[in-house]
Amino acid sequence: MDSIWINAPAKINIGLDVIRRREDGYHEVKMIMQSIRLFDRLTLTKTKEPGIKLTTNLSYLPVNEDNLVYQSAKRLMDEFHLEGGLDIKLDKRIPVAAGMAGGRTDAASWMLAINDLYGLGLSKRHLMKRGVKLGADIPYCILKGTALSEGIGEKLSTIPAMPSCYILIAKPNIHVSTKWVYTNLVLDEHTNHPDIDGMLASMKKRDLSLSNQIGNVLESVTIPAYPQIAAIKDCMLQNGALGSLMSGSGPTVFGIFDDKDKAMAAKEKCRELPYRCFVFVTDLYR
């Protein structure tokens, strides 16, 4: 096998809580992660000429050591002394800097693909141990599906799958710095922490009432700075969403729907907002 392709799914945070800031500067988190059917596609082809050639459909993305796909490729090729080179084509469909782990799911899927392409025989756990060195979200992006993420994001537990539903994604045309959000997050006795344990209990019951429980502590930082996020949430809730939340540090907003027609109608309402948005209706990736 000289060539392989793989889909890299986006993720959303059904629940995101920050427990504390650690002495090393990292934040200890407790999150419920969910993959959705919005994909980037990676195509890998072996070449006789040594080196890594990365191309993308977006001209502004880096194609050198600044790209996580390139970094993860080089690490595995160096570790296993893989001969020849690789031609990597990245077809980007997940919005960039959206709070949906687009770059990290690409790096994770690349590691899965090269494991198959070269027959390295690494388990997912072995790949996850390597991936965490590049980013705390990468182990989850290797695992995929529905998971509880703790520690700095590297401690993962599989949990009951989220009940079937439709997801409306709306990403406004703004950029939010994850570093800025975490730097400005205030954790004190007034912080409104989401009930992650309550969400887990609802998921065990396969109950979409968890839509009323979803929460993201980072909204307390991002929404005051970018009020259009709140407006998008309100639009979804007023048009049939069972619940709506910002994913990650933002700016993407998602809505949970029990009916596809409702989700599609809400999508059109989001298009009418006075903000330029990427909007997309999909379902869960298990």
Q: Is residue 137 among the annotated active site residues?
A: yes
30, 40, 137, 267: the active-site residue: 137
Is residue 238 packed enough to be buried (19+ CB in 10 Å), middle (13-18) or exposed (0-12)?
A: exposed
Residue 50: asked if its preceding bond is cis (omega within 30°), the reply is: no
11, 30, 171, 233: the active-site residue: 11
HEC letters along 99-166: CCCHHHHHHHHHHHHHHHHCCCCCCHHHHHHHHCCCCCCHHHHHHCCEEEEEECCCEEEECCCCCCCE
Interatomic CA distance for residues 221 and 150, integer angstroms: 21
Could you give the maximum distance between any two Cα atoms of the chain, in Å? 60
- Phi-psi category of 200—alpha, beta or left, where left has phi over 0 and alpha has psi -120 to 50? alpha
Q: Is residue 116 among the annotated active site residues?
A: no
Interatomic CA distance for residues 209 and 99, integer angstroms: 24
Which residues are part of the catalytic machinery? 11, 137
